[in-house]
């Protein structure tokens, strides 16, 4: 008894812990808002919370709230019931000054625990200075804008849409990274989509690395005295390959936009709701010029074209080894820059070492800050003679774009102490790759020819035509034939879906009845009658080979009569379906009634099993 009580308490506590872990309490608000315009701050919890405590919101005026709303839903998917609950608290706020402000986390109580939401950071933009302010641009990418397109059957002049070409730098050195973006700005209209009529420049003179933007997101931005919805359409990293002025040609995009008609209204509803038209706008992003300078004179001898900011991390596998043992020098180059163009630094190995080609592996990622990551190099060598050897420092030189100077990084000097191996005289080492497991020492693999007397072993002889000979041929063929017949029958039966449903109808019904019995024990009347009703309908669907959606009481009665089922059984089937349907929505059903209908369903399925359907 104590053991059962302990298990019961354990499951109760475990269920409470799982429920507590599923509690989600979060805050949400726009990331950018406009000063003087109201917006909503919401707190959402997926349980029935209480005692909401919101921190003091100093930078915003609370116009209204909190308004509380709740929603719940229940779904049945593949016979499994799931439910969800949401409780929402809504505040209406208004910002009275510009800047970036933080809203501290709020707290709420569910049962006996207190939960904390996330904090928010909101940027307040200034209001529009003038509805007619237009952007002006030059070619440097800091204020580029072109407005284009024509509209038909509507007047789109009140809307404003254009694309800027934005480059992080227009004066760079060779191989110095540039982030180029095409950014959409629009106000007074909605952008539905972009067509495939997009023409990007070929970026001649640059090495290009595109950035995956994922799903395009919009945000507010204050530009040239007006607030716009913005979206970044395309981004790429550019690495100039030669000095001089490189021209990036204009790009064109085609957008489908919804604009409000300004024609004379014909009714009060047109004046209140407004009418919209969909038009296609051709947008042109202007080209820009990039001025590229050559790298300064005085390049170090170890310079191999690296431009950016880098660090190196060397390591040696061991400095104590024997002849014919492998030693590995590990070098990692990490940083941000033109990592893909870095050449592998050379190692000046001592004489008497057999050197293999270095193994190089790259782990790079492309972000708006540039290409960053790690270039890993493994140098492998094998000493063939004993002694003390020195590996000189490895130098790696690059051009630092922050200081505009060359910098040299070097590894320490390594000293190797090589002792003569035990099998040094006869050892032969072969290898064709840097991998250590590919290097094999052959003298321990070769065995001398055995010259002694070999033991005689008597072996049986299989003669052609005897019983054992034919048995070796006939037995496999016989087994193959049996397996073929058995599996062919099984495949044929599985291919007949109607027959398979017919055969498993009783098994599926019994499984639903067991589930209904569990719900009856839990006093879940609605769930019990729903399972009873599903068990009956699905059983009839499988036995009669008719989809459940096409079944009804009329065709069930007709088909059962055609198959020669007795009138009493037909009446019992129709009565059970009606009773289950009625009881499912009758909250006054008693436990005795549930037990009666459960037993009646079992008896009816047993009677139908004896009928030839």
471 within some domain: no
CATH number at residue 365: 2.60.40
- The domain in which residue 384 lies consists of 303-441
As a whole number of angstroms, the distance between CA 224 and CA 144 comes to 11
pLDDT of residue 560: 81
User: Over the stretch 440-467, which tens digit does the pLDDT of each residue have?
Assistant: 444 455 555 666 666 665 555 555 666 6
More confident residue, 143 or 304: 304
pLDDT for res 128: 81
Residue of 239, 216, 211 lying closest to 366 (CA atoms): 211
Judge contact between 532 and 601, C-beta under 8 A.
Answer: yes
47 in the same domain as 25: yes
Does 319 share its domain with 411? yes
Are 309 and 378 within one domain? yes
At residue 367, the pLDDT reads 84
CATH classification of the domain holding 31: 2.60.40.10
In this structure, are 175 and 273 located in the same domain? yes
Residues 362 and 408 in one domain: yes
Q: pLDDT band for position 153 (50/70/90)?
A: very low
- 164 and 96 in a common domain: no
The yes-or-no verdict on residue 543 having pLDDT over 50 is: yes
Report how far residue 529's alpha carbon sits from residue 531's, in angstroms, rounded to the nearest whole number: 5
Name the percent of the chain lying above pLDDT 90: 25
At 111 the pLDDT is 85
| 15 domain-assigned | no
Tell me whether the omega of the peptide bond preceding residue 329 falls within 30 degrees of 0, making it cis.
no
The residue-averaged pLDDT of 421-445 equals 48
pLDDT score of 267 more than 70: no
Is 251 a residue whose pLDDT tops 90?
yes
The residue from 238, 271, 293 where one domain ends is 293
% pLDDT > 70, the chain: 77
422 and 320 within one domain? yes
Per-residue pLDDT reduced to its tens digit, 403-416: 999 999 999 999 99
Q: What is the mean pLDDT of residues 529-551?
A: 79
Question: Do 283 and 311 belong to one domain?
Answer: no
Mean pLDDT of 331-336: 93
Q: Does one domain contain both 177 and 276?
A: yes
Domain boundary among 293, 325, 358: 293
Q: Tell me whether residue 365 is in a domain.
A: yes
Residue 553 lies inside a defined structural domain of this protein: yes
Q: What is the DSSP string of 410-430?
A: EPPPEEEEEEPPTTTTT--EE
CA distances from 209 to 16, 253, 365 (A): 51, 20, 10
Same domain, 360 and 285: no
Which pLDDT tens digit goes with each residue over 361-393?
A: 999 888 888 889 999 999 999 998 899 999 999
Return the higher-pLDDT residue of 563 and 45: 45
pLDDT-derived band of residue 132, with 50, 70 and 90 as boundaries?
very low
Mean pLDDT score across all residues of the chain: 78
Number of domains in the chain: 4
- Predicted pLDDT of residue 240: 92
Domain-embedded: residue 57? yes
- Kindly state whether residues 401 and 516 are assigned to the same domain: no
Based on the fold, state whether residues 316 and 268 are members of the same structural domain: no
Question: Has residue 557 been placed in a domain?
Answer: yes
End-of-domain residue from the set 271, 293, 315: 293
Q: What is the reported pLDDT for 555?
A: 79
**Which of 166, 168, 293 lies closest to 240 in space, CA to CA?**
293
7 vs 484: which has the higher pLDDT: 484
pLDDT of residue 4: 56
More confident residue, 45 or 500: 45
DSSP 61-88: EEEEEEEEEEEEEEEEETTEEEEEEEEE
> Is residue 262 within 8 Å of residue 211, measured between CB atoms?
no
Structure tokens at 304: 């191999």
């Amino acid at each position: 008894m104590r053991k059962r009580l302990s298990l019961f308490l354990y499951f109760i506590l475990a269920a409470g812990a799982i429920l507590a872990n599923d509690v989600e309490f979060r805050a949400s608000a726009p990331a950018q808002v406009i000063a003087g315009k109201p917006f909503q701050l919401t707190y959402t919890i997926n349980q029935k919370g209480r005692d909401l405590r919101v921190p003091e919101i100093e930078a915003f005026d609370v116009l209204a709230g909190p308004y509380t709303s709740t929603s719940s839903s229940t779904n049945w998917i593949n016979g499994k019931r799931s439910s969800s609950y949401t409780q929402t608290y809504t505040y209406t706020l208004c910002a009275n000054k510009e800047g970036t402000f933080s809203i501290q986390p709020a707290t709420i109580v569910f049962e006996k625990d207190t939960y904390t939401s996330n904090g928010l950071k909101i940027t307040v933009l200034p209001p529009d200075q003038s509805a007619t302010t237009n952007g002006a641009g030059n070619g440097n990418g800091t204020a580029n804008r072109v407005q284009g397109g024509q509209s038909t059957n509507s007047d789109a002049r009140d809307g404003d849409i254009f694309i800027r070409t934005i480059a992080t730098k227009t004066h760079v050195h060779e191989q110095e990274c540039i982030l180029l973006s095409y950014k959409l700005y629009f106000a007074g209209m909605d952008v539905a989509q972009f067509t495939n009529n997009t023409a990007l420049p070929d970026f001649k003179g640059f090495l290009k690395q595109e950035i995956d933007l994922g799903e395009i997101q919009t945000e507010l931005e204050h530009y040239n005295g007006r607030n716009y919805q913005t979206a970044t359409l395309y981004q790429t990293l550019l690495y100039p390959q030669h000095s001089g002025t490189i021209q990036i040609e204009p790009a064109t995009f085609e957008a489908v936009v919804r604009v409000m008609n300004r024609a004379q209204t014909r009714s009060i509803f047109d004046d209140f709701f407004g009418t919209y038209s969909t038009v296609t706008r051709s947008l042109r992003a202007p080209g820009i010029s990039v001025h590229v300078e050559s790298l300064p004179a005085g390049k170090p001898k170890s310079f191999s074209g690296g431009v950016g900011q880098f660090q190196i991390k060397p390591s040696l596998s061991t400095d104590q080894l024997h002849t014919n043992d492998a030693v590995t020098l590990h070098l990692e180059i990490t940083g941000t820059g033109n990592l893909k163009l870095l050449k592998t630094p050379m190692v000046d190995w001592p004489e008497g070492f057999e050197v293999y080609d270095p193994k190089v592996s790259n782990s790079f990622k492309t972000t708006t800050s540039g290409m960053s990551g790690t270039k890993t190099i493994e140098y492998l060598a094998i000493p063939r003679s004993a002694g003390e050897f020195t590996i000189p420092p490895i130098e790696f030189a690059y051009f630092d774009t922050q200081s505009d100077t060359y910098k040299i990084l070097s590894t320490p000097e390594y000293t190797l102490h090589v002792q003569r191996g035990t099998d040094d005289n006869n050892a032969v080492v072969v290898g064709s790759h840097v991998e250590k497991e590919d290097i094999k020492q052959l003298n321990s693999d070769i065995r001398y020819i055995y010259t002694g007397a070999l033991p005689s072993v008597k072996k049986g002889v299989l003669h052609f035509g005897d019983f054992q000979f034919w048995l070796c041929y006939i037995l496999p063929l016989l087994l193959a034939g049996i397996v073929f017949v058995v599996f062919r029958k099984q495949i044929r039966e599985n291919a007949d879906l109607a027959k398979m449903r017919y055969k498993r109808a009783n098994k599926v019904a019994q499984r639903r009845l067991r589930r209904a019995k569990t719900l009856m024990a839990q006093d879940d009347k609605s769930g019990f009658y729903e399972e009873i009703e599903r068990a009956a309908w699905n059983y009839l669907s499988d036995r009669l080979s008719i989809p459940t959606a096409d079944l009804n009481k009329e065709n069930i009665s007709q088909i059962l009569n055609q198959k020669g089922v007795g009138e009493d059984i037909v009446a019992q089937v129709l009565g059970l379906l009606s009773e289950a349907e009625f009881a499912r929505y009758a909250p006054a059903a008693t436990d005795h009634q549930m037990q009666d209908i459960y037993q009646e369903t079992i008896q009816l399925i047993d009677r139908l099993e004896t009928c030839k359907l």
